[in-house]
Amino acid sequence: MTLDRSTIWPYDERGEPQEFFYQRYGHPAGVEVERALGVLDGGHALLFASGMGATTALALALLGPGASIAVGAGAYFGTARGLRTFERWGVTVVEFDQKGAPPADADVVWLEVPSNPLLEVPNFEAAAAHRGTVVVDSTVATPLHVRPLERGADYVLHSATKYLSGHDDILLGGVVCKREEDAAALRTLRGTLGIVAAPDPCWLLLRSLKTLRVRQERQTATARELARRLEEHASVRVVRYPGYSGLLSFDVADGDAARRVEVATRKIRNATSLGGVESNMESRHRWEGDRIPSGLLRLSVGLEDVEELWSDLAAALELA
């Protein structure tokens, strides 16, 4: 489709607004990419300015004074940090082990599949049996490997900045709602408050979704092989990989060793984020502190040749 950057569209001959009239309430590229994402996850999708923008919108939609939200411990560190900003408005945030049952009194249960960077898979059955509203951040799994709406979730959240976009060139978030009426309410809230996704990144996401499947197949195959080889490496203490998608993490002896390894790779960039066609690796301790082991390295596997990646990694691990 051609990209339409208009912020306004004329009313019809009777002076009535058409489907598009003011960009904050909707625009063609946004509607098109929401249709595509909705099909992938089996629900009704809405795009936001970033993954955290999507989290903010869901928090505003689902929480009020006195509400409590239980977040899977080890989920993306920005999620709990972001949700805690709502404590000022009387919201309670607790963390729990998402491999077990959520706290009984939680109004909202927030899972992540698999968690970033500990790569743990949540207990969907226990969350589905819980009375609360269930949100699943499925950024790392992507809809190709896990469809949370079919496993009891009410909402799926994506940082579309990662695998869905795949090229490290757009910042976007998505929410896919199980129910049409929830999507309508969230759409009204989004248009009213303005946490919207602009046409350009939505148009680029449409481009990216065309290659999502081939990228995921290749990234999964390469990550599996690297995880297997890392398991056998003498300097690696533990490898975490759920068996799908392109993200893995592993531990070397300590924080200093992790720093030596991350700056020593040549092909793999020492950079944050994940999900791109080029591989990235970083020590997560710099961002997350003692939530995670100090020697943890997070590797986002791109589309490069597996042997080239392994020789780069193996050379860097000599310094561990």
Q: Which listed residue (76, 110, 155, 163) binds ligand PLP by CB under 6 A?
A: 76
Point out which span in 58-66, 154-162, 233-241, 261-269 binds ligand PLP (CB under 6 A). 154-162
Q: What is the bridge-based pairing of β-strands 133-137 and 155-159?
A: parallel
Minimal distance, residue 14 CB to ligand PLP, in Å? 41
Asked if 220 touches ligand PLP (CB under 6 A), the answer is no
Shorter beta-carbon distance to ligand PLP: residue 153 or 317: 153
Minimal distance, residue 248 CB to ligand PLP, in Å? 14
Minimal distance, residue 245 CB to ligand PLP, in Å? 11
Minimal distance, residue 315 CB to ligand PLP, in Å? 28
Asked if 173 touches ligand PLP (CB under 6 A), the answer is yes
Minimal distance, residue 115 CB to ligand PLP, in Å? 8
Instruction: State how far the Cα of 178 lies from the Cα of 256, in Å rounded to an integer.
Output: 45
Sketch the per residue contact string, 46 through 75, with ligand PLP: x for CB under 6 A, - otherwise: ----xxx-----------------------
Asked if 116 touches ligand PLP (CB under 6 A), the answer is yes
Q: Which listed residue (161, 165, 245, 283) binds ligand PLP by CB under 6 A?
A: 161
Shorter beta-carbon distance to ligand PLP: residue 83 or 140: 140
Which residue's beta carbon is nearest to the bound ligand PLP?
A: 51
How far apart are the two ends of the chain, measured CA to CA in Å? 49
Asked if 292 touches ligand PLP (CB under 6 A), the answer is no
- Residue corresponding to tokens 């919108």: 57
Considering only residues 120-149, where is the footprint of ligand PLP by CB under 6 A?
Answer: 137, 139-140
Shorter beta-carbon distance to ligand PLP: residue 23 or 139: 139
Minimal distance, residue 157 CB to ligand PLP, in Å? 7
Please write down the HEC assignment for all residues of the chain. Answer: CCCCCCCECCCCCCCCCCCCCEHHHCCHHHHHHHHHHHHHHCCEEEEECCHHHHHHHHHHHHCCCCCEEEEECCCCHHHHHHHHHHHHHCCEEEEECCCCCCCCCCCEEEEECCCCCCCCCCCHHHHHCCCCEEEEECCCCHHHHCCHHHHCCCEEEEECCCCCCCCCCCCCEEEEECCHHHHHHHHHHHHHHCCCCCHHHHHHHHHHHCCHHHHHHHHHHHHHHHHHHHHCCCCCCEEECCCCCCEEEEECCCHHHHHHHHCCCCCCEECCCCCCCCCEEEECHHHHHHHCCCCEEEEECCCCCHHHHHHHHHHHHCCC
* Of 40, 217, 69, 219, residue with least CA distance to 132: 69
Asked if 165 touches ligand PLP (CB under 6 A), the answer is no
Q: Which listed residue (78, 103, 191, 255) binds ligand PLP by CB under 6 A?
A: 78
Number of chain positions touching ligand PLP (CB under 6 A): 16
Q: Which residues bind ligand PLP (CB under 6 A)?
A: 50-52, 76, 78-79, 112, 116, 137, 139-140, 159, 161-162, 171, 173
